[in-house]
Amino acid sequence: MRNLIISLILLFSLSPLAFADEIALQNNPPDKHVVVKGDTLWGIAGKFLKEPWRWPEIWNLNREQIKNPHWIYPGDVIELVMVNGKPRLRFGEKQRGELETVRLSPSMRSEALESRAIATIAPSIIGPFLAQPLLVDEAELSAAPRILRTEEGRGLVGMGENAYVVGLKPDNGVYWNVYRPGKVLVDPESKETLGQEAVYLGKAKVLKFGNPSTILVTNSTLEIYGGDRLIPVTEAPMNAYVPHAPGNIAHGLILSIYSGAAEAGQNAVVTLNRGKRDGIEIGHVLAIYRRGADVPVVDSKGDKVSLKLPDERSGLLFVFRTFDKLSYALVVNSTRPIHVLDKVQAP
């Protein structure tokens, strides 16, 4: 049986990912960076690269390492070196070499180490979207516990108020998310129903199980009414996936902007009409393009024709959560407002 190993040195012997163009370094990039608490993989990459998402290339990672990378921790030193005329990143002398081949028993120690590792992008931005329900199906919706009313008989429930709920089971714990069924998401091209969004409303704690049960609303982001639903709180997963370009992924569309805004900018969360079945993975970086308008012109024969203007790139997004038919992404860069039905494709 192989020992369970934590390796903090990324392997350089495997073949790199192939990209057509050269990597552009920042003007006067640092020779090294000491990782500190609060750093993100994206932020560190941005200190060296003009395109931070190309981080895997100068780590010389293969596809399997991108899916299951090793953790990077505060205190690690990352150095920029040139190998055969090409930039490469590696761990410096201050790495914790004595931890490279450590047998971990029990597994709780591994989890504790991972909890100190740096995240790919800021957890404060995407954290709520990792733990909250974003999509619901009809079966889940019909089975979810339902708020009846407040103790005072009102339909509106506010933070700090108690309410009665039917359908709660002690097996799922005392902490719950409150949500409301949102809009049905339909692919604008195929007209296929892709899912139904769940609108996050707040959090609640069970005070007493019964029929009905009594809950306390501990937090609310929107008004909560009788008929709204509850699902158990789950711990947000910590993904170490590194940003990388997709392979043979067909273009997609921005299906909606979370919170229903008319347009989005940097740090906004958007829904894409592509998911796991289409090959979309956590960590994929996609370019956003504004569709070029159709402009009426007169051709050389004097006839009126329509001329399509070029699509213009307007930003980048990072996929952080995937479902079968849909995925959610964070806009990490925008040069102009992002809109619903903007195209996304490999950068």
Same domain, 223 and 308: no
Whether residues 213 and 185 fall in one domain? yes
The pLDDT-based confidence of 14 (bands split at 50, 70, 90) is very low
220 and 144 together in one domain? yes
User: End of a domain among 118, 145, 171?
Assistant: 118
Mean pLDDT over 61-86 rounds to: 76
Domain that holds residue 318: 252-345
| DSSP percent split of the chain into helix, strand, coil, nearest 5 | 15, 35, 45
pLDDT at residue 332, as a whole number: 87
**20 part of a folded domain:** no
Q: What is the mean pLDDT of residues 34-46?
A: 85
Confidence of residue 199 (pLDDT cuts 50, 70, 90): confident
Structural domain includes residue 239 = no
Boundary of a domain, candidates 85, 118, 151:
118
- Dihedral through CA 55, CA 57, CA 62, CA 64, nearest 10? 20
CB 182 within 8 A of CB 141: no
Check residues 76 and 205 and name the one with the higher pLDDT.
205
Burial of 218 (0-12, 13-18, 19+ CB in 10 A): middle
Q: Using one digit for the tens of pLDDT, what is the confidence trace for 88-99? A: 888 887 644 433
Task: Judge whether residue 9 has pLDDT over 60.
Answer: no
Looking at the DSSP bridge assignments, the partners of residue 217 are 204
| Of residues 97 and 235, more confidently modeled | 235
Whether pLDDT at 218 is above 70? yes
- Residue 255: the pLDDT is 92
Taking the CA atoms of 290, 42, 264 and 322 in sequence, report the sign of the dihedral they define.
positive
Name which of 91, 93, 94, 90 is nearest 75 in CA terms: 94
pLDDT of residue 167: 92
Instruction: Tell me the range of 219-233, 235-249, 256-270 where mean pLDDT is highest.
Output: 219-233
Is the distance from CB of 273 to CB of 260 less than 8 angstroms?
A: no
| pLDDT average, residue stretch 153-159 | 82
pLDDT at 124: 64
Site of tokens 């952080």: 320
State mean pLDDT over 28-40.
88
- Asked if residue 6 belongs to a domain, the reply is no
Q: What letter does residue 105 receive in the DSSP assignment?
A: -
Q: What is the pLDDT confidence band of residue 17, given thresholds at 50, 70 and 90? A: very low
Residue 297 within any structural domain of the chain: yes
Q: Name the domain count of the chain.
A: 3
| H or E element, residue 69 | none
175/195 same-domain check: yes
- Whether 23 maps to a domain, the answer reads no
Higher pLDDT, 141 or 251: 251
Residue 206 and residue 136 in one domain: yes
- Give the residue with greater pLDDT, 173 vs 17: 173
In a domain, 196, yes or no: yes
Is the domain of 217 the same as that of 258? no
The amino acid at residue 339 is H
pLDDT band for position 1 (cuts 50, 70, 90): very low
The more confidently predicted of residues 52 and 140 is 52
Of all residues in the chain, what percent carry a pLDDT higher than 90? Answer: 22
Nearest alpha carbon to residue 166 among 142, 138, 147, 190: 147
pLDDT digits (tens, 9 = 90+) for 270-321: 999 999 999 998 888 899 999 888 888 888 888 888 888 888 999 999 898 8
Buried b (16+ CB within 10 A) or exposed e, 121-135: beeebbeebbebbbb
Phi and psi torsions of 266, nearest 5°? -60, 140
**Mean of the pLDDT values across residues 178-205?**
88
- Let me know whether 102 and 141 are in one domain: no
What is the pLDDT at residue 216?
95
Identify the pLDDT of residue 101. 33
Q: Which of 232, 262, 296 is the last residue of a domain?
A: 232
User: 338 pLDDT band (50/70/90 cuts)?
Assistant: very high
Contact 341, 253 (CB under 8 A): yes
| Alpha-carbon distances, residue 188 vs 197, 254, 291 (angstroms) | 16, 10, 15
58 has pLDDT over 50 = yes
3-state secondary structure of 44: helix
Average pLDDT over residues 319-336: 89
- Same structural domain, 200 and 221: yes
Mean pLDDT, all residues of the chain: 78
* pLDDT at residue 111, rounded to an integer: 41
- The Cα–Cα gap between 268 and 261 comes to 10
* CATH number where 265 lies: 2.40.10.410
User: What is the distance, to the nearest Å, from the Cα of residue 46 to the centroid of all Cα atoms in its chain?
Assistant: 18
pLDDT at 65: 59
- Residue 290 in any domain: the answer is yes
Mean pLDDT across the stretch 171-186?
88
Domain assignment present for residue 324? The answer is yes
Higher local confidence (pLDDT), 146 or 125: 146
Distance CA 252, CA 319 (A): 13
Type of residue numbered 263: E
Contacts of 260 (CB under 8 A, 6+ apart): none
Tell me whether the omega of the peptide bond preceding residue 337 falls within 30 degrees of 0, making it cis. Answer: no
